[in-house]
Structure 1
C-alpha cells in the first residue's frame, strides 16, 4: 500500500488499472513504455476498482496484486496498490497527489490506445492531462479510432512526434505521444468472458 521508493530526477511511468485479470497485453504495454520512453522505472498501480466498470466480478485487491506481480517480472517494474491507501479510485487525484509529493520526479501516465478512446469520460480528465505527460501505446483494433477521440482532438497541438518519445518525460504537461509497437491482442474483458487467466 506504500508508494514505491523514488528520487529526484527519475523518470517513472504510471500504468494503472483494475487488472482483472492481468495479462500479456498489459506486460506488452509496460515493456513498450520502458523501452521507448527512456523511463527509469514503471509502477503498475492495481486499483481498488474502475469507477466506469461494474465490480460484481472483481476479485480481491490482494488476488489481483499477486497475479500482476507474477506476470510483471521485470527489474524496473514495481507492482503497487497505493491508490487504496489514498482512498480514491480517481486518476486525477492520484497524479495530482504524486506530483505534489514528488515535484522533482518526472511522472508519465501510460495507457493503451483503447483507453484513449474513452479518456474524455474519466473524471476531470483535463486535470490529468494538465498534470503529467501521457504515453498512449497502440492496441489491436484501436489505432485510428482513439486518434479521433475527443481527448486526442482536444490536445492535438500538444502531441509529441513518436520519434521524439524519449523526450516526453521532460516535457511540461499537457504533452502526449502515440507509440506504435508490435500488437498484443489480449484483453481482460475477453479473458473474463472466456473464463481464462492471462
Structure 2
C-alpha cells in the first residue's frame, strides 16, 4: 500500500489542500493520503487554532473516502517531520509512504530538522504553489537532489521507487492560503 502524507497546521484547511490531495491520489497513484494535522510548526511562532477545530474543518473540506484527517503527530508526541516519519515507518513496515508538500515548503526545506534524512528515506512529491514555483526550483534541496528528480511524466512511479527520489508537479493551482482565510476571520463559522 502507498500512502501520501500531507503535513501542516491546516489552520484552516481549505480547497487548495483538497485540490493537491486529489492530484496526489491521481498523479502519484496513491492508495490513500493522510493529512497530518500538526500540533504546531517549529518554524512558526504563532500558535495554531485548537486541534479539534482544525480536524473538524479538514473533514468538512476534504470529504473523500481515501483521505484520512489525522492527529497522529499529537498522539505519537512527535514534533518534527523526520521524527514522525521514523515512527510511522516503524509502526507500518509494509506501507510505502510518500511525503507531499507545496513548492513553498521546498523553498525552505533545508531549514527543516533532518531534511536530508527525509530525502534519503521517503519519496517526496512537490506541488507548484502560486508565487513559489521559481523559488522552489532554485532551492537548496532541489539543487542538492537534482539528479534524483523524477520527470513529471513518470510521477506514477514515485511511490514504488527507492529514495532518494522526488517529483515536482505543475498542476492547476488554487490561489488561496490559510493566512488569507485567517485574516478574514470567518473560517470557524
Query: Into which bin does the TM-score normalised by the smaller protein fall?
Result: over 0.9
Gaps of 5+ in 2: none
Match of 1:4 in 2: none
2:91 to 101, 104, 111: 101
2: CA distance between counterparts of 1:55 and 1:141?
A: 22
- TM-score, normalising length from structure 2? 0.96
User: Could you list the per-position Cα deviations for residues 55-92 of structure 1 after superposition, in whole angstroms to 9, with x for gaps in the alignment?
Assistant: 34x21111111110111101111111111011122000
* 1:30-69 map, 5 Å: 30-56=21-47, 58-69=48-59
Name the CA distance, whole Å, in 1 between partners of 2:79 and 2:184. 27
Partner Cα separation in structure 1 for residue 171 and residue 186 of structure 2: 25
C-alpha contact 1:96 1:131 (8 A) present in aligned 2 = no
Structure 1: gaps spanning 5 or more residues: 1-9
Distance 2:143 2:102 in 1: 17
- Cα RMSD of the aligned pairs, angstroms, is 1.2
The runs of at least 4 consecutive aligned structure 1 residues that moved more than 4 Å come to none
Residue from 72, 85, 91 that aligns with 2:75 = 85
Contact 1:32 1:137 in 2 (8 A): no
What is the aligned counterpart of 2:105 among 115, 132, 140?
115
Aligned partner of residue 121 in structure 2, secondary structure: coil
1:133 aligns with 2:123: yes
Query: Could you say which residue in structure 2 is the equivalent of 1:172?
Result: 162
108-117 vs 93-102, which moves further: 93-102
Matched residues in 1 for 2:69 and 2:14: separation?
A: 14
How much does 1:112 deviate? 0.9
Q: Which residue does 1:76 correspond to in 2?
A: 66
Cα separation, 2, equivalents of 1:196 and 1:135: 31
Shift of 1:194: 2.9
The alignment partner of 1:55 has SS state of: coil
Structure 1: distance between partners of 2:49 and 2:107: 26
Q: Determine the structure 1 residue equivalent to 2:8.
A: 17
How many pairs align?
Answer: 188
